[in-house]
Amino acid sequence: MKILERHLRDYIDLPSGARAVRDLLDDIGIEVKRIAPSQHGDVYTVELLANRGDHASYAGIAREVCGRTGSPIRLPAITELQVGDAPWEVRIESPACLRYSLTLLERVAAPSPLPATLRHIIEATGGHTVGPEVDATNLANLELGQPTHAFDADTIVGAVTVRAARAGETCLPLFQQTRVPVPEGALVIADDEKILAVAGVIGCDESKTTDATKRILLESATFEPVSVRKTARAMGIQTDSSARFERGSDPSMVIPGAGRVVYLLESSAGYRRVGATALVGDWVNPNRILPVNIPAAGNFLVYPLSDSDVRERLTRYGFEVSPTWPMWSEEGWTTPDNLEDAWRSSLRHSVLVRVPAGRLWDVETSQDLYEELAKSIGYNATPETLPPVDKGGLPSDAERNKAIVEQVLVGNGFFEVFTDGFYGRVVRERLGITEGHPLWAHVETQNALERGYSLLKNNTLAQAIDTVDANLRVRNADIRAYEWTRTFHPDPTAENGVCRERKVLWAVGNARKETGNWSDREPSLVWLMSGLVEELGATLGLPLTVGEADPTAPLYGCLHPGRQGSVLLNGRRVGVLGEIHPTVVRNYKIKQDRPCYLEIDSDVLTSGRRPTFMEPDDVHPSVRSLAFTLPGTVRAGAIAEHMRRSGPPWLTHVDIVDLFSHVADGTPVRTVTFELTYSNQAAARSADEVNAASEYLIDAVAQRFGDAGVKLR
């Protein structure tokens, strides 16, 4: 939102100087993004809280400043409207409309624009002045946070009805050239023939005011926030009005908001009211009452608070504060004779706070009022204290294992990072994920403020690549990062009825050239990730191995087809590793780098028992070496894994120790040497038994891979 500093000073006293004003607004939670000079004064671009619709106006910002400084608020002039029998019939047929008012005005003089000082307020937001009717409604929205809309009364046929849209209905929104469908069930404003406006979102062209307009019907209303949000998202239309209604508007401001527009039109634009204002709707103020225990609030904030102090601070924000015992009724604060002693005891040293209508959307508990007190005091004004610490219990196995894993990662040069749990729909395209892919389905957010937060992540590869990209943009090419996180997968049968969560540890590495080494060749970080898996397995005492890539793994197509593998635990896939697919890397505009990715189910790492010391065998193990010639279509890891599964229980290790590449008959050939380690505890096995086991493994490899061209060298 953009605000004109000069106009904000009309509402409340501010410190002198742009820096002091910016510091004050930042400190009360209204972040100033930038200050830009204009011909009308400094324009502040501020970021408002997503759940505070009352902030989105000069009066709302002034209220927050008042809560901190105590300076009185000065509101603009408002005409007091008489509610009664109006000259136009209006009715509500949907509970999604809380209150709705219509005021009829007719032109009695030649049209004239609003005063220049008021038009400057609209221009400061980047908007354009159109005419007095539209400018007045836009101004009331900016000043008081109450959206209103002006219809040309002579275009309306019959009664004005607030109802749900019917199947197949269309409308012609303002600023659009063609009619668009209105979602069935969406809240609309209609006459007997057509839709006049999509409630809370946008008006329609067929009922707009023009220079020829003689009579206007002024609408001022409050709509249910979820209804407005769903309609705006479904139609792909975002307006200042929908932004305010989506965050919860103030039902008690319906008549004052209309009164501000009437004042502007009657005092400046040549209009006058005709009859009373119509007001319909079943909304009744629930008069939410919340107790605030003053000693408890003081202990929570570590700040001394008295009864008068709490009363004064909350009153600044518009809350109505009573003494301890009286209760609220329609006649005001009263003390019922039958107030139970237990209720009296529970409220001792407390005050009762009545929540204003505009804050019913976000103030629901007494703890919410603690936040108001903290803002009034200022977070920087509360003392810095550490919480009391008692002796705790010993760490659990999961906590110890997590610490061990982090020691291994940090020891290998990895830094912990923290990424978002959301990303945008563009991630699917960048990863090459199309409809039908295992990673296509996502949990989608319905009220994302930005497109980049529209999907809950169902993979962590996207964040890994973003981490690499962010570092490359600041010329840091040597990257090693990891994160403990979780992914979300749609599943209506899950306990929460929405999705199941998967806990994941991921790591990413990138390097253009090896550093600290005599070799200047490009490294393959896949070997680093593979070694990391082995080190984690050895340190945790888990039989983690790296095996052949699994085409059924969800990330299989996102990794390089010839430089990836599976992380296995007792033959079961618990993760993946590999170089990120070149196409995916290019989609992220990464040109010279080949980042590598590792992902492991974190429950596997944290649920295992910490390894204990085992006394080594008295007799050295027996070691044999086997060399096989491999064609390019067979991975060495697949042969190693097959020998591990086929060997006897006393085959403890199968390691790849040498690679020799050469050309035979014009064809590239690889010869890979595998080292087999056999335990020989208490000298229980002879050399003949070890040799027989090795011969058996040679036959097993020949039977499994012989047809593919694998031969013993």
For residue 83, tell me if it sits in a domain: no
Q: Are residues 429 and 330 in the same domain?
A: no
Query: CATH number of the domain that 491 lies in?
Result: 3.30.930.10
Q: Are residues 275 and 296 in the same domain?
A: no
Q: Are residues 251 and 125 in the same domain?
A: yes
CA distances to 246, 436, 451, 589 from 455, rounded to whole Å, are: 20, 17, 9, 22
Q: Are residues 261 and 136 in the same domain?
A: yes
Residue among 309, 338, 311 nearest 323 (CA): 311
Total Cβ atoms within 10 A of residue 112: 10
Q: Whole domain around residue 53: which residue ranges?
A: 2-69
Inter-residue contact 100 to 221 (CB < 8 Å): yes
Q: Are residues 170 and 245 in the same domain?
A: yes
For residue 613, tell me if it sits in a domain: no
For residue 387, tell me if it sits in a domain: no
Inter-residue contact 466 to 427 (CB < 8 Å): no
Query: CATH number of the domain that 672 lies in?
Result: 3.30.70.380
Residue among 262, 185, 190 nearest 220 (CA): 262
For residue 333, tell me if it sits in a domain: yes
Query: CATH number of the domain that 305 lies in?
Result: 3.30.56.10
Asked which of 380, 408, 438 is the last residue of a domain, the reply is: 380
- Strand runs labelled E in 185-293: 187-190, 195-198, 202-203, 215-223, 271-273, 278-280, 289-293
Q: State how many domains the chain has.
A: 5
Q: Are residues 63 and 172 in the same domain?
A: no
Asked which of 581, 607, 633 is the last residue of a domain, the reply is: 607
Secondary structure (3-state) at 39: coil
For residue 542, tell me if it sits in a domain: yes
Instruction: Show the tokens assigned to 187.
Output: 């809240």
Q: Average pLDDT per run of 10 along the chain, which is 713 residues long? A: 90 91 90 88 85 86 93 93 93 94 93 88 83 91 93 94 94 91 94 94 92 93 93 90 88 94 92 94 90 88 88 92 59 50 56 90 90 90 76 81 93 93 91 92 78 88 94 90 95 90 94 51 70 87 86 93 90 92 92 91 81 67 92 81 90 86 76 90 81 94 92 90
Q: Are residues 245 and 171 in the same domain?
A: yes
Q: Are residues 473 and 540 in the same domain?
A: yes
Confidence (pLDDT) at 347: 54
For residue 74, tell me if it sits in a domain: no
Confidence (pLDDT) at 464: 95
Total Cβ atoms within 10 A of residue 626: 19
Q: Are residues 176 and 199 in the same domain?
A: yes
Instruction: Show the tokens assigned to 505.
Output: 């540890």
Q: Are residues 276 and 293 in the same domain?
A: no
For residue 75, tell me if it sits in a domain: no
Q: Are residues 325 and 418 in the same domain?
A: no
For residue 578, tell me if it sits in a domain: yes
Confidence (pLDDT) at 524: 62
Asked which of 224, 254, 280 is the last residue of a domain, the reply is: 280
Q: Are residues 51 and 126 in the same domain?
A: no
